[in-house]
Amino acid sequence: MLSDEPDRRRATPRICRDPLSDRPVFVAPQRGGKPDDEALASRFGDVSSGPSNWCPFCAGNERRTPADVGRVPADASLPWRARIVPNTYPITTGQPAAEATDEDRAAGGRHEVVIESPQHHDSILAIEADAWRDVWSLCRERLAIIADEDRHAWATIFKNSGRKAGSSLEHVHSQLVAVDIVPPVIRGELATLANDTAVFPRLIAAARAGGRIVSERGGLVALVPPAPRQPYETWIVSEQPEPHLHATAAEQGAALADLTRDFVGRLERLAPGSHFNWWLHQAPFARSAADARMAAGWHWHLEILPRLSEFAGFELGTGCHITTVSAEDSAQRLRDAAL
Ligand SMILES: [Zn+2]
Ligand SMILES: [Zn+2]
């Protein structure tokens, strides 16, 4: 019915594009109802009751999330150690509307939550090393399925750890998003790669020469980039060209798990209780031979950004950042913070 159209439009996650900056904005009105820990505690128990009474991610509360789309172990008769579920408050829709303009259209894609432990931990450091490797293995499996769906332009995994990093639920989790646009940051990195096919090897070589390597394992390098936005910003970069995380060898997935755990341990020793974000930068999914050639020189990387100070007017208004610790000092302190 035509009269339902405005309601349906309001309920469907959409992408609008700012005409001046070309900046995409995801409009997801349902996320306005997204509860935080306090709201869940008062709805399902009382604030003083244990999280297993109210946290939707704790074992025993699976009915409070949608059914999982992936789990470890795969055998559903065994207790789960990690699971991936559709996000109840998605920024994308699985059924994009046919009508679309570049300025305002349905946001096709997937938005899922990776619940990284059945227990109510607030830090990945509480997860055993083997179980943490299983989490990354599950993520890689899910990313492979999403890549095969052949309708997404790009996908990522990101983590918001702590309130300053935008997290509303403390139970360890990350998010997986597939979208039908290539985000501006990725378009920018692709444009750099198009002009300089050796940009990634040079990034790694410069970090070696400049004393900015934090640690290395299994073909991955954890380095402080030359222009970190915050103290201790670190990127974990594939040494070999590899456009997508799901396509890498299993050993690299395990190395990524170990290096992320290692980094969070170092950060915790340097600045206890720090909040941080990380996000995966993969190449866009290739739709043509030209896309595939373009992506061939990409090295997937995970950018980890501690949130030690707030982004304010200068950062938001200019896209520039101010930091108080140089890249070289950040790397030295991170190396010294080894166990
Ligand atoms: Zn929980
Ligand atoms: Zn990047």
Q: Residue with structure tokens 């299993």?
A: 250
Q: What distance in Å separates the CA atoms of residue 263 and residue 144, rounded to the nearest whole number?
A: 26
Q: What distance in Å separates the CA atoms of residue 117 and residue 197, rounded to the nearest whole number?
A: 39
CA of 256 from ligand 2 middle (Å) equals 16
How many helices (H) does the chain have, and how many strands (E)?
A: 9, 13
Return the ligand number nearest the Cα of 173.
Answer: 1
| 120-152 exposure pattern, b = at least 16 Cβ within 10 A, e = fewer | bebebeebeeebbbbbbbbbbbbbeebbeeeeb
CA of 135 from ligand 1 middle (Å) equals 16
CA of 276 from ligand 2 middle (Å) equals 16
Q: What distance in Å separates the CA atoms of residue 52 and residue 238, rounded to the nearest whole number?
A: 38
**DSSP notation for 212-276:** -EEEEETTEEEE--SS-SSTT-EEEEESS-BS-GGGS-HHHHHHHHHHHHHHHHHHHHHSTT--E
DSSP state, 197?
A: T
334: closest CA among 238, 215, 164? 215
CA of 230 from ligand 1 middle (Å) equals 29
| Phi (first) and psi of residue 67, to 5 degrees | -60, 145
CA of 299 from ligand 2 middle (Å) equals 9
DSSP state, 108?
A: B
CA of 301 from ligand 2 middle (Å) equals 6
CA of 37 from ligand 1 middle (Å) equals 9
Return the ligand number nearest the Cα of 118.
Answer: 1
CA of 119 from ligand 1 middle (Å) equals 6
CA of 113 from ligand 1 middle (Å) equals 13
Return the ligand number nearest the Cα of 61.
Answer: 1
Domains of the chain: 10-182 (3.30.428.10), 185-336 (3.30.428.10)
Query: 333 by DSSP, 3-state: which?
Result: helix
Return the ligand number nearest the Cα of 58.
Answer: 1
Q: Report residues of the chain scoring pLDDT below 70.
A: 1-10, 46-47, 96-102
Q: Give the pLDDT score at 9.
A: 58
Return the ligand number nearest the Cα of 203.
Answer: 2
CA of 173 from ligand 1 middle (Å) equals 10
Q: Quote ipTM for the complex.
A: 0.98
Q: Residue with structure tokens 């690299």?
A: 252
Q: Give the pLDDT score at 2.
A: 45
Residue 310 CB-density burial (10 A; 0-12 exposed, 13-18 middle, 19+ buried):
exposed
Q: Give the pLDDT score at 150.
A: 87
CA 97 to chain centre: 26
Residue 273: C-alpha distances to residues 226, 229, 326 (Å) = 25, 19, 21
C-alpha angle with apex 228: 226 to 232, nearest 5 degrees? 110
CA of 164 from ligand 1 middle (Å) equals 19
Q: Is it true that the peptide bond before 13 is cis, omega within 30 degrees of 0?
A: no
CA of 188 from ligand 2 middle (Å) equals 9
Q: Give the pLDDT score at 5.
A: 52
**DSSP notation for 47-82:** TTS-GGGT-TTSTT-GGGSPPPSEEESS-TTSPPSE
Which residues are near ligand 1, the ion (C-beta closer than 5 Å)? Answer: 51, 55, 57-58, 120, 171
CA of 288 from ligand 2 middle (Å) equals 22
Return the ligand number nearest the Cα of 115.
Answer: 1
